[in-house]
């Protein structure tokens, strides 16, 4: 897979060019923590029937992901904590949104299961790579694009207006937008995000396997010491 290999090398190069600091109280980390604190407030608004307020708050919480990332890079404040906290907050926001949409009946169960399984798998896999092999697969740009489409789609479903007529190409209640029932415009962005997310998941798995192989080879070259010796 030459394209995947080239993308992996580029991601590693970009990661190596970043100066990672040990600081905890950086502006990007504070923003990530504030985003995390927005999660319970978002749920209270959603379950209280405040669709507009919930959609706005979710939009702010998800949109500031781009802001803290840019601040971290431009101010050279990329931290070890931030490299873990930022994607973790993204996953928590993602899982919270789909569970909330399931409870209020605006998203089919299969999408919720797909998103949660993917995100929990990426979180667990990333934590395992870091803890056992001391390597981290950096987030690639298409992954951010997938997350952006999903967040925008979730915001549309939270707002729940305007409603668009379905295409009517299938007669399945679990395929909103493709059946004849009216649905929020946000579902189409969710579908796009799921498609891109599936492709990036394949890359992350491939990159993770490559990282483990490299760590094992480095361990053998170093006389069998380190995490790859076990």
- Give me the pLDDT at residue 134, please: 85
Q: Helix crossing, 80-103 with 141-159: angle to 10°?
A: 30
Q: What structural domains and CATH numbers belong to the chain?
A: 2-229 (1.20.120)
For position 223, what pLDDT does the model report?
Answer: 57
Q: Which residue has the tokens 């950086």?
A: 26
- Interatomic CA distance for residues 211 and 30, integer angstroms: 30
CB atoms < 10 A from the CB of 174, how many?
11
Could you report the per-residue pLDDT of 85-120, keeping only the tens digit for each?
888 888 889 889 999 999 999 999 999 999 999 988
Interval 69-85: pLDDT, tens: 677 677 776 777 777 78
Handedness of CA 82, 88, 93, 96 (dihedral sign): negative
Torsional class of 76: left (φ above 0), alpha (ψ -120 to 50), beta (otherwise): left
> What tens digit of pLDDT does each residue of 131-154 get?
888 888 888 889 889 989 999 999
pTM above 0.95, yes or no: no
């Amino acid at each position: 897979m030459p394209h995947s290999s080239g993308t992996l090398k580029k991601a590693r190069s970009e990661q190596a060019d970043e100066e990672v600091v040990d600081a905890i109280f950086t502006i990007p980390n504070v923003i990530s923590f504030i985003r995390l604190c927005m999660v319970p407030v978002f749920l209270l608004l959603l379950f209280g029937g405040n669709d507009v307020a919930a959609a706005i708050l979710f939009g702010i919480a998800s949109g500031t992901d781009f802001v803290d990332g840019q601040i971290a890079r431009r101010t050279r404040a990329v931290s070890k904590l931030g490299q873990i906290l930022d994607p973790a907050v993204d996953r928590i926001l993602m899982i919270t949104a789909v569970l909330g949409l399931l409870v209020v009946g605006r998203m089919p169960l299969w999408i919720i299961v797909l998103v949660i399984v993917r995100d929990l798998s990426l979180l667990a896999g990333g934590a395992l790579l870091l803890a056992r092999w001391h390597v981290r697969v950096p987030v690639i740009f298409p992954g951010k694009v997938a997350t952006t489409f999903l967040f925008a789609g979730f915001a549309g479903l939270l707002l729940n207006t305007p409603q668009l007529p379905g295409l009517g190409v299938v007669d399945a209640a679990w395929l909103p937008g493709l059946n004849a029932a009216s649905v929020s415009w946000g579902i189409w962005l969710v579908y796009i995000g799921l498609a891109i997310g599936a492709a990036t998941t394949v890359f992350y798995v491939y990159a993770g396997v490559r990282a483990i192989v490299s760590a094992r080879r480095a361990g053998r070259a170093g006389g069998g010491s380190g995490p790859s010796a076990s």
